[in-house]
Amino acid sequence: MTELNENMDFETAYAALRDVVRQMEDPKNKIEDTIALYEKACRLVLHCRRKLDEARMEISDVNERIRKLRDSGAKLFED
């Protein structure tokens, strides 16, 4: 099982979340184990949301730079 850490990329965290959810669905789990898995899933969800928020901010920044270039009339490419 993948250990959660702050440097984990979105794809790895999302795959770990899917794995945890799969484990939670096992009816053989003890309640204590399911609760521990639930906590891990919640942490992974928060981490994934944070990564998605960071990606949205990067996209917004790129869009803003492109808008400024467009509005300035500057050449986008060299001839």
pLDDT per residue as tens digits for the range 10-20:
999 999 999 99
| One-letter amino acid for residue 21 of the chain | V
Instruction: Tell me the per-residue pLDDT of 32-67, one tens digit each, with 9 for 90 and over.
Output: 999 999 999 999 999 999 999 999 999 999 999 999
DSSP per residue, 22-79: HHHT-TT--HHHHHHHHHHHHHHHHHHHHHHHHHHHHHHHHHHHHHHHHHHT--SS--
Global pTM? 0.80
Q: Does residue 28 surpass a pLDDT of 60?
A: yes
Burial class (CB in 10 A: 0-12, 13-18, 19+), 48: middle
pLDDT, position 79 = 64
Residue with tokens 């009339």: 73
pLDDT, position 70 = 87
